[in-house]
Amino acid sequence: MPLIRLEQAGVTVPDTGRVILAPTSLTLTEHRVAVIGGNGSGKSTFARLLNGLVLPTTGRVLVDDLDVARHGAAVRRKVAFSFTDPSAQLVMPTCVEDVELSLRRTVRDRATRRAQAVDVLERFGLAGREDQSVHTLSGGQRQLLALAGVLATDPEVLVADEPTTLLDLRNTRSVGELLLGLPQQLVLVTHDLDLAVRCDRGIVVADGAVAFDGPAAAAVDSYVASVAR
């Protein structure tokens, strides 16, 4: 498992000086880390710092001693990222082609690539849907496909930004089980507190800063208490 370290990493809007995330220092070593907090609290920015989708304006973020700002491509090969809305990240017309797109760089041979992509689809409960259009999938299936696409290359870490927010109860559970059962390190940004409480560590983000960091159950309690006040 790679070591993700934030060293006084913060994000400020250059023109207005508005602080999106105050300088934060922490190390992520747990298998499953939940990040919870209100809308607009800075959770997503925190998540995007981890693989260089957002670069810190102060301090730095290191993945296995690789500076995210300087080695973005190498970091993103280790740290995969999934978005709330799967439609934005599915770019190919059919299921198998979208997974193949992820494999394009590592598997040059077309036949092998397809076979691997079919395997991946099967692992994510999408067997038999290889040639189905991504537009005809249900929301839950679409999120599964998006996850299949980013996990096909066997990254070491998955950062998932509210992966269940758009899903119904059944799909929330199945996607949740899948995420918590992954061998990869998981950084799970979520509003689903049932899911958050099952992680090994909980980080509460409020007003652009880490408000609580500790065991997941205590983090959830702290977040719920902060809302009740």
Partner 1 sequence: MSSPLGVYRPGTSVLHRLPVGAKLLGLVVACTAVVVTHGPPAALVALGCAVVLALVARIPLATTARSLRLLLVIALVGGAFQWWSSGASRALETLLDVVTLGLLGLCLTVTTASGDLIDAFVRWLEPFRRFGVDPDRVALTISLTISSLPETHALALETRDAARARGLRSARAYLTPFVIRVVARAHETGAALQARGIGD
Binders of partner 1 in range 11-50 (CB under 8 A)? none
Q: Name the minimum Å distance from CB 130 to partner 1.
A: 9
Smallest separation, CB 133 to partner 1 (Å): 5
- Nearer to partner 1 among residue 131 and residue 200 (C-beta): 131
- Least CB distance to partner 1 at residue 28 (A): 18
What DSSP assignment string belongs to 186-224?
EEEE-S-HHHHTTSSEEEEEETTEEEEEE-HHHHHHHHH
Closest approach of Cβ 214 to partner 1, in Å? 28
Query: Would you say 65 or 109 has its CB closer to partner 1?
Result: 109
Q: Is 223 in the site for partner 1 (CB under 8 A)?
A: no
- Asked if residues 84 and 165 have their Cβ atoms less than 8 Å apart, the reply is yes
Give the number of other Cβ atoms within 10 Å of residue 73's Cβ. Answer: 7
How far apart CA 72 and CA 41 sit, in angstroms, is: 25
Biggest CA–CA distance in the chain, Å, is 59
Q: Which stretch binds partner 1 (CB under 8 A): 30-38, 60-68, 128-136, 171-179?
A: 128-136
How many residues sit in the footprint of partner 1 (CB under 8 A)? Answer: 34
CA distance 113 to 102: 10
Q: Report the alpha-carbon distance of residue 207 to residue 21 in Å, rounded.
A: 8
Query: In whole angstroms, how far apart are CA 37 and each of 60, 151, 199, 226?
Result: 23, 26, 15, 10
C-beta closer to partner 1: residue 53 or 204: 53
User: Distance (Å, rounded) from C-alpha 220 to C-alpha 196?
Assistant: 7
Residues numbered 70 to 99 that lie near partner 1 (CB under 8 A) are: 72-73, 76-77, 80-83, 85, 87-89, 91-94, 96-97
Give the burial string for 149-183 (b: 16+ CB within 10 Å, else e): bbbbbebbbbbbbbbbebbeeebbbbbbebbeeee
Q: Which of 70, 115, 131, 138 binds partner 1 (CB under 8 A)?
A: 131
Binding residues (CB under 8 A) for partner 1: these are 51, 53, 72-73, 76-77, 80-83, 85, 87-89, 91-94, 96-97, 100-102, 104-105, 110, 114, 131, 133, 135-136, 149-150, 153
